[in-house]
Amino acid sequence: MRRIFDFKKTINYAEVRFMILGHFELLKRLQNDLVVNPLDLDQVRENGIDLNISEQLTIEPKAFALAKTREWVEFPTDLVVLCNLRSTYARKGLLIPPTVVDAEFKGKLVIEIANFSDQPYTFKQGERFLHLLVEKCRGAKPYSGKYQRQT
């Protein structure tokens, strides 16, 4: 059988490695080149950073809406982020699609939230809703898309 794709050979040329930053490494990076503004230190969790919703938002049952973070973020060239809705909301039937924030992104995050429950849900302004897993990445291409510097 002929191989169409040689995984070992390809991965050597396109190697990307990830390492999730923990609490203490996040604190170091926040003093250096990682920007989250405004930020209360209790938003820096064991393995990520929690962000707040910028304004009150109600999502009707079986519908979705876009939620913007209160915080402005700036990620350096060697960091990428995986966004997760805090588990409290998943238990209520709210979900977000897989969301990656690329290296060099600057701006407020806008996240789609879907309500799969039978009840409307209202986020209060300033409520923590999003958990960021910040990952060190080697070989990332910096973001230069249309959402750069969104407010």
- For the annotated catalytic residues, the residue numbers are 112
Residues 6+ apart with CB under 8 A from 72: 35, 36, 37, 106, 107, 108, 151
CA distance 123 to 3: 51
What are the Cα distances from residue 145, in Å, to 101, 102, 122, 141?
Answer: 11, 10, 31, 11
26 burial level (CB within 10 Å; 0-12, 13-18, 19+): buried
CA distance 47 to 20: 7
CA distance 48 to 81: 9
Residue 102 identity (one-letter amino acid) = D
